[in-house]
A = this chain, B = another copy of it.
Amino acid sequence: MYKFKITIAYDGTHYSGWQLQNNSITIQFLLQEALQTVLRTPTLVTGSGRTDAGVHALGQVAHFTSEIDLNLYSFAHSVNSLLPHDISLLSIDPVPEEFHARYSAKAKIYHYYLHTDRVLNPFTRLYRTHLLYPIDRELFRKSLNLFIGTHDFTSFANEASLGAAAKNPIKTISRIDLFEERSGLRIEFEGNGFLYKMVRNMVGTALEVASGKINIDHLAKLFSAKDRRLAGQTASPEGLFLAEVIY
């Protein structure tokens, strides 16, 4: 038995997210179809975690097993020729049997992009969340900084359709950096795990503080409140990228 780690980039615009679903086209489904066609045998692709509908990935990671060893170069080429152009297999590497795309992951990095110019950019419109109101950038930065550290993130986790109950809501975010870009902002989040819609809920809540809808003291109390209804709205998916999974 051979085990392989694959790294995938995708434009999530036209898909119902990563995870297999009935009656929807998902990244996992298309990847599995392509792998099965090349391997000529039913194949399960296990991802590092889900990404939601409309969310993008620069470096999603998954694993699969094969009875036969593979010529990695020609295998990657064959898989890419079967995938639609908005999904790319970036690399494939052999991994030991113990490797698991989800359980072996030590940390994940997400990027969230905000377009703050009044005029939309036709070329980045699908990859930036367009902010239609002004924000206080210093207050935005302060709000984001409150998420750094080890907290119970229950107030920032949507109920997932499956398996959420079992998840430990205590996560550690080691880094949140805010960068000014030409037409907006880029926020980078690095942490040992993220709950369902957690990044978008943190961004949405920090935006509500920065636009004067919520007081920053209220935000600080949300960790102990453990109530999703007290936090801000979920920010749009199009600005979110799963940038890297660290093992």
Residues of A within 8 A of B (CB): 9-11, 56, 76-77, 80, 85-90, 118-123, 125, 127
Judge whether A80 and B122 touch: CB under 8 Å: no
Known: A77-B118, A118-B77. A123 touches B56 (CB 8 A): yes
A197 CB to closest chain B CB (Å) equals 22
Judge whether A80 and B119 touch: CB under 8 Å: yes
A215 CB to closest chain B CB (Å) equals 31
Complex: A9 Cα to B121 Cα, angstroms: 8
Query: Looking at the complex, which one of B85, B118, B121 makes contact with A122 (CB distance below 8 Å)?
Result: B85
Query: Looking at the complex, which one of B77, B85, B120 makes contact with A88 (CB distance below 8 Å)?
Result: B120
Complex: A86 Cα to B123 Cα, angstroms: 7
Judge whether A86 and B56 touch: CB under 8 Å: no
Complex: A125 Cα to B80 Cα, angstroms: 13
A127 proximity list for chain B (CB < 8 A): 123
A76 proximity list for chain B (CB < 8 A): 119
A119 proximity list for chain B (CB < 8 A): 76, 80, 88-90
A88 proximity list for chain B (CB < 8 A): 119-122
Judge whether A125 and B89 touch: CB under 8 Å: no
Judge whether A125 and B86 touch: CB under 8 Å: yes
A122 proximity list for chain B (CB < 8 A): 9-11, 56, 85-88
A-B pairs with the 7 shortest C-beta distances?
Answer: A11-B122, A86-B122, A85-B125, A88-B119, A9-B122, A88-B122, A10-B122
